[in-house]
Structure 1
């Protein structure tokens, strides 16, 4: 089974890549619906490797444990960066899935290299895949909305909202 997103994000591709590698952005992305707790210190930016996290609904209801197993594909195409999570659910309802591959790709948007073409694909399989497809698809749509909301703030110097910029002022 597969769920996927393809959209243009209002941020620079470098900022999007940094955000994808940020545990803080991951926590914010799923909050308040889900909380991901590693049970210990986390890096500022993910590097290739594995980490197990406890997942809680609304921060209190145990949902299960998830292994995040990251690698980066930086050579497939020039200008494209892909984060690959081949981890898997370890416990809870999603552990009925025995195949899990999540890929997130960022590249300059066609016609506007200051924005990001973002592609997000999760392939999963197992005894409960058909039953879990609709909840996963719904989560992916929510994820897309959250990414679009968050992306303009990923830069080191976020742009002010259009209604806050004085039309005659120089903006750095």
Structure 2
């Protein structure tokens, strides 16, 4: 099953692209419902490169949800109209704790140009948890709605924050 968001964000696509590679943004859009702690030596980098990154999740900052591997890769597609869509894939998943019930995980964040210098942001999470999938999806659907509010609220600040990055 999957949950999706289709948003128009008030920032340039390049700023949104940098934002989806930012551990600080990841933590901001996950909170305050989920607290995320890096398990990597040295903590969170400024920008996530491709590859694996281990984090510990806590619901409301208190309830342990386990350890998750975030496995990132990037992809660029040329669309039929000649524009480009960039996609971040997270094909990681839980390795411990209650979230381990989720057996399959594929999260995609797609960035493309929207009118007036804004960003079309498509966010899709496909998960499988066996017979528990419908129950798990209710939780993810609620989390995705809260995430949408945070993304929309934070995006205007990304214009300035990520303006100097490539």
TM range (shorter): 0.7 to 0.9
Which residue of structure 2 aligns with residue 115 of structure 1?
Answer: 118
Equivalent residue of 2:19, what SS?
Answer: helix
Match of 1:79 in 2: 84
Partner of 1:106: 111
Q: Where does 1:15-164 land on structure 2 (aligned, <5 Å)? A: 15-39=15-39, 40=41, 41-75=43-77, 77=79, 78-109=83-114, 111-112=115-116, 114-127=117-130, 128-156=132-160
Residues 93, 104 of structure 2: 8 Å contact kept: yes
Q: Aligned partners of 1:75 and 1:157: how far apart in 2? A: 26
For the aligned residue pairs, the C-alpha RMSD in angstroms reads: 1.6
Structure 1: state its 5+ residue gaps: 159-172
- Please state whether the residue corresponding to 2:69 is helix, strand or coil: strand
CA–CA separation in structure 2 for the residues paired with 1:34 and 1:135: 12
Q: CA deviation at 1:92?
A: 2.2
CA-to-aligned-CA distance 1:99-121 (integer Å, 9 cap, x gap): 10000001101x33x10000000
- TM-score by length of structure 1 reads 0.85
Residue ranges of structure 2 left out of the alignment (5+ in a row): none
Distance 1:122 1:53 in 2: 18
Which structure has the bigger radius of gyration? Answer: 1
Greater displacement, 145-154 / 40-49:
40-49
TM-score w.r.t. length of structure 2: 0.88
